[in-house]
Structure 1
C-alpha cells in the first residue's frame, strides 16, 4: 500500500485517533466462563474462509479470550484469516473482509489500551481493493487442506442458482467422508455438480477410480472446470483418479452417454427444488438404475434441502410411480464444514 494512497492516509488517521483514546473508554466484560483461546482463532478461520454470516461467529467466546491477552488473540485470528496464504490465493469478497475486520477492530478496542497496527493495515488493503462479482470460499478438510471454490457473490446469477455452494452439497460431502467405501475404486457420476464442492471432496479423500462431474448450464460447467483445476484435479490425468466433466441434459440425455459413463455410484445434492424438472430427473434415475453392461448394480444417493415439502413429496411420489423405491438415511454425520444446520436436509438411497 503506497504512502500516498487514500487508504493509507485513512488508516493513519484512525491510528492517531485511537492512540489518543483514553484508557477509561475501554470496556471490560467480566465473564467467569473460561474459553480455550487456541480454539477461538481456529473456529474463526473455518467460518471466515467459508464466508459464513457474522452472526454465526463465536463472538462471546472471543470476548472471554480477549480479557487475558487481547492483542495476541486478535493477531492469531488475523494470521489465520486475512493474513493467511489461503486468503491470498482464494480471497473472500471485499465486502465480507471489510465487515469482518471492522468487527475485529470493534472487539479489540474494548479490551486493548493500544491499537493493533496489523488490523488497520489489513483494513487499509481491503478498502483499496475493487469489489468483484465473484468471490472465493474455502472449506477445510479434516486434514487441514482447503477445498477452494470460485463462486458468484449473488445467489442467483446468469439465470442459474448453480454458481454457489448449497447446504445439501456440504452435507453430502460430510456423509461421503464417513462412507468412503461407497466411492473407493468406483466410477462415480454426480448429477448437477454446480461449483464442484462435493465431487472435489470425494476425489481428494475417497479415492474413486473415475469421477464424472456433470451439469447442463454452460456457465456452471465453465466455473466447474475452473474449480476442478484450482484444486489440483485435471481432465488430463489427476493423481489417483480419472476426472471428467460432462454436459448432461436430463431432458435429452442419451442412453449411449450413460452406458459410456458406466457409473457404479450416482450422487446428487440439492437437485429437487423445481417441480418442472422432477419428471425428467426421475426418468433419468430410472434409466441409470436399469443400465446394462455394468459389473455391479449402481447405487444412487440424493441429498436434498427440504425448502418446500410439497415439491419434495412430489419427487417421492414420482419415484414410486416410476417403480423406484427409496430409503431415508437417518444416521447423523460428523460436522466438518460450517453451514446452517437448522435447515432440514434429507439423504435418501434410491433403488429398484
Structure 2
C-alpha cells in the first residue's frame, strides 16, 4: 500500500469530507480491514458523485479491488462481492454513464471460489502495510484464535504511542492469536527479542505464516530476534519461562473464560516474580469487557496472587478502522 500523509484513521460521513482523496483513502483502509459494508461513508460518496461524476468511483475502485494488495492478499470473495455490488448500486443511482471497470471487477469475483482463508491488511502510520491471514469463520478448528479481535488492535495502537515500553527489551506475548499486535510491535517499536506464544496447534501454524508473511523471519528486515513458541499456561515450566527472560509481557483478549483465569494468573505471577532479573518485568493486558463478572474475577485473582494492577486511562489515538463502541480496558500488572 502506498505511503500517505494520513497517519491516523479518519471517519468520514457526508458532513465531514475534505476532498475526494480523503474519501477514497477511507474506503481503502476500511476495505482492506474488512470493515462492515454498512459502516463505509456511502452518503459522502453520493455527495462526491454529484460534483465529480465517475472519477471518485474510479479512485475508490483503484484503491480497493484493483489495488495490488487485493491481487496478492485479498479480502474474502464474499466480502469483495458485497462491496462491489454496493459500489455499483450507488454509482447507478447517482451517475448516468456505466463504468466497465466496475462490472469487470464484479465479474472476476462472481465466479471465484470461496476460500476458508482471507487477508486483512492494516496501514501503519509510516505508510507500511501489515497483512494478516485469517479464517473467514470467527470460530474455526475449535478456537477463536484464527482471527483478529478489537482488543488486539487497541493494544497495537497503545504500543505505537508507547514504544519505550518495548524498545531494546525482550517481549513475551501471551495468546498471540493471528499475530497482529506482535507484528506491529516488531515493525515499529524496536524490541531486541519478541516471543509470540500460543498453545493451539492451528493457531501456532497461522502465527508462523503471518510472521513470515510480514518479513519477520529475516533478522535483517527489523533487527528483532523473533520466535514463535508453544506455551501452555497450565504446564509452563520455570526453566522455559526463564529462558525467555521477558522484560515486558503483553496479552490481548485473554480474559474471557472463567475456567482459564486461575492458570493465567499463576503464569503471570511466575513471570513477574523478578527472580534473577535486573529489572522488574511488567505486564500490559488489553481486554474487551464482555462479561463484567468474569473480568472482576480476574482482577480479584490478581490481588489474591499478590499482583498489583493499574487501569491505564489515558486515551489512545485510533489508527486502525474497527468498532470502538465496545468497552476495552488496558491494565498494567506488576509485583
What TM-score range do you get, normalising by the shorter chain? over 0.9
Distance 1:112 1:214, change over 3 A: same
Does residue 126 (structure 1) correspond to residue 105 (structure 2)? The answer is: no
Whole-Å separation in 1 of the counterparts to 2:146 and 2:55: 38
Q: Which residue is 1:272 aligned to?
A: 255
Q: Which residue of 2 aligns with 1:151?
A: 134
Deviates more, 1:228-237 or 1:105-114: 228-237
User: How far apart, CA to CA, are the structure 2 residues paired with 1:296 and 1:56?
Assistant: 45
Q: Which moved more, 1:293-302 or 1:264-273?
A: 293-302
Counterpart residue number, 1:140: 123
1:192 corresponds to which of 166, 172, 175: 175
Displacement of 1:61 in angstroms is 1.1
Alpha-carbon distance in 2 for matches of 1:49, 1:225: 21
Deviates more, 1:197-206 or 1:50-59: 50-59
User: Rg bigger for which structure?
Assistant: 1
Residues 34/295 of structure 1: CA separation in 2 closer, same or farther (3 Å cut): closer
Tell me the SS of whatever aligns to 2:132. strand
SS in 2 for 1:316: helix
Superposed CA deviations along residues 214-260 of structure 1, whole A, max 9, x for unmatched, are 00000000000000000001177653100000100000001001100
User: 2:294 corresponds to which residue?
Assistant: 311
Q: Tell me the CA shift for residue 111 of structure 1.
A: 1.9
Quote how far apart the aligned CAs of 1:164 are: 0.2
Residue 154 of structure 2 is matched in structure 1 by: 171
Partner-residue secondary structure (3-state), 1:67:
helix
- Could you say if the C-alpha distance between residues 33 and 278 of structure 1 is closer, same or farther in structure 2, counting changes exceeding 3 Å? closer
Q: Give how far 1:34 is off.
A: 6.3
Q: Aligned match of 2:72 in 66, 82, 89? A: 89
TM alignment of 1:235-246, pairs within 5 A: 238-246=221-229
Equivalent of residue 41 in structure 2, options 48, 51, 58: 58
Q: Distance in 2 between matches of 1:237 and 1:271?
A: 32
Residue matched to 1:13: none
1:33: Cα distance to partner?
7.9
Contact 1:51 1:96 in 2 (8 A): yes
What is the aligned partner in structure 1 of residue 244 from structure 2? 261
2:330 is equivalent to residue 347 of structure 1: yes
Matched, 1:289 2:289: no
Distance 1:135 1:117 in 2: 26
Unaligned stretches of 5+ residues in structure 1 = 1-30
Separation in structure 2 between the aligned mates of residue 236 and residue 50 of structure 1, nearest angstrom:
27
TM-score (norm 1): 0.89
In the TM superposition, 1:196-215 aligns within 5 A as: 196-215=179-198
State the partner residue of 1:101: 84
Contact kept in structure 1, 2:190 and 2:222, CA below 8 Å: no
Q: Tell whether the 8 Å contact from 2:15 to 2:44 is kept in structure 1 after alignment.
A: no
CA-CA distance at 1:295 after TM superposition: 2.0
Asked if the contact 1:189/1:214 (under 8 Å) is kept, the reply is yes
Q: How far apart, in 2, do the equivalents of 1:156 and 1:263 lie?
A: 30
- The CA deviation string for residues 157-211 of structure 1, in whole angstroms up to 9 with x for no partner, is 1000000000000000000000000000100000000000000000000000000
Distance 2:53 2:294 in 1: 50
- Maintained 8 Å contact 2:261/2:298: yes
- On the 8 A contact 2:187/2:222 being kept in 1, the answer is no
How many residues of Structure 1 are paired with residues of Structure 2 in the alignment? 322
Which residue of structure 2 aligns with residue 248 of structure 1?
231
RMSD: 1.3
Question: CA separation in 1, counterparts of 2:204 and 2:163?
Answer: 26
Distance 1:277 1:314 in 2: 11
Deviations 1:113-154 (CA, angstroms, capped at 9, x unpaired): 110111001000011211011111001101121110100011
Residue aligning to 2:166: 183
- Which segment drifts farther, 55-64 or 299-308? 55-64
